[in-house]
Amino acid sequence: MIPLSHSLIIAALLFVLGLAVVLLRRELLFILIGLEVMLNGVALTAIAAGQYWGNADGQVLVIMLLTVTAAEVVVALILVWLAFDHYKAVRVETLTHLRDDTDRSTS
Give the contacts of 74 (CB within 8 A, at least 6 positions apart). none
- Of 2 and 75, the one with the shorter C-beta distance to other proteins is 75
Q: What's the min distance (Å) between Cβ of 100 and other proteins? A: 4
Distance, in Å, from the CA atom of 15 to the CA atom of 64, rounded to the nearest integer, reads: 19
AA identity, residue 44: L
Considering the rule CB under 8 A, would residue 42 count as an interface residue with other proteins? no
Distance, in Å, from the CA atom of 35 to the CA atom of 77, rounded to the nearest integer, reads: 12
- Of 2 and 99, the one with the shorter C-beta distance to other proteins is 99
Q: Give residues in contact with other proteins (CB under 8 A).
A: 19, 22-24, 26, 31, 92-93, 95-101, 103-104, 107
